[in-house]
Structure 1
């Protein structure tokens, strides 16, 4: 992409107040204007798409022995607000202390509180088969899969 095209697009973003500019010497620095009228909506769109899931997935993939991980609750059901936390289910045998510090780092990166539930495979299945209302609701509700696939999870809970 030619540099002039990029400059023109950046100028348009400055003109609508999405970006602010600051001159320092012979350089111009740009940053997002958090007071821009659509800032929260645009941020929500970015966080809603790949950003949050990617952050979480990338960091969780570094941990071993996680069979399934998925986002559930308001975020997965497209009912989140800018203040919504992220509900995360982890099924596997990862250490709670290590997982907790990893989740804390992800929370700082994304600027969202992350509430996670950790279950061993056996514990999750036992609760599901005993018709634990929370586990049933999560297992049968909308999810954003981070580790494992939907068809694998359906087989798992059969």
Structure 2
């Protein structure tokens, strides 16, 4: 099965679009994937044949969407989220910013429950201007057509939250996090120590 998957850049681009959508037609998939309609059709037909995608005809158009009965669909989505998708791009862009001490994605996106309509929640702690961070987040939102929410705390704010024993901090450290920047173990230790 794997030798039939991920054979080309076009297939990776097409999969990255359709795995997280609620059904798109050929031309929209091609546009979002940055490939020709011919390339998109070839890859889509292959993915339908493998049982990863299903089709539905609406009027004159055929819509393609992920087959929820595919036994490895969630694994494939998780793989793409971690390697090709929006989370990877967020990580690449935010790691380039100076002044961030800790940064991670939390919530449904970090738990691997990401869909076309999912928003992405990020906590950023450090010395970075809100204006600069908002500018980068806005660019990412535009390119992925997805809402990205961020919480920005200074290191002083973070220490205050620790002293207050913020339930928010305690709750997120018990869940999946997609780590972007900073020492994860140190962060977890600081939060756990605050509750001892």
Same fold (TM over 0.5): yes
Q: Which runs of 5+ in 1 are unaligned?
A: 1-5, 22-26
SS at match of 2:98: coil
TM-score (norm 1): 0.71
Distance 1:37 1:84, change over 3 A: closer
Aligned residues: 141
1:56 equivalenced with 2:65 (yes/no): no
Q: Residue 149 of structure 2 aligns with which residue? A: 115
SS class of match (1:30): helix
Partner Cα distance (1:137, 1:122) in 2 = 20
Q: TM-score, normalised by structure 2?
A: 0.58
- Taking a change above 3 Å as real, the CA distance of residues 72 and 38 of structure 1, as seen in their structure-2 partners, is same
Over 3 Å counting, the alpha-carbon distance change for 1:117 and 1:95 in structure 2 is same
Distance in 1 separating the partners of 2:78 and 2:110? 13
Contact 1:128 1:136 (C-alpha < 8 Å) held by counterparts: no
CA distance in 2, matches of 1:79, 1:130: 30
**What's the C-alpha RMSD, in Å, of the aligned pairs?**
3.5
Q: Which residue in 1 is equivalent to 2:180?
A: 146
Cα distance in 2 for residues equivalent to 1:29 and 1:102: 34
Query: Using the alignment, how far apart are the partners of 1:116 and 1:140 within structure 2?
Result: 19
Distance 2:99 2:63 in 1: 43
Cα drift, residue 46 of structure 1: 6.0
Counterpart position of 1:90:
124
- Equivalent residue runs for 1:5-44 within 5 Å: 29-31=38-40, 35-38=63-66, 44=77
| Higher relative contact order (Cα pairs below 8 Å, separated by 6+ residues) | 1
Structure 1 equivalent of residue 135 of structure 2: 101
Does structure 1 retain, via aligned residues, the 8 Å contact 2:26–2:64?
no
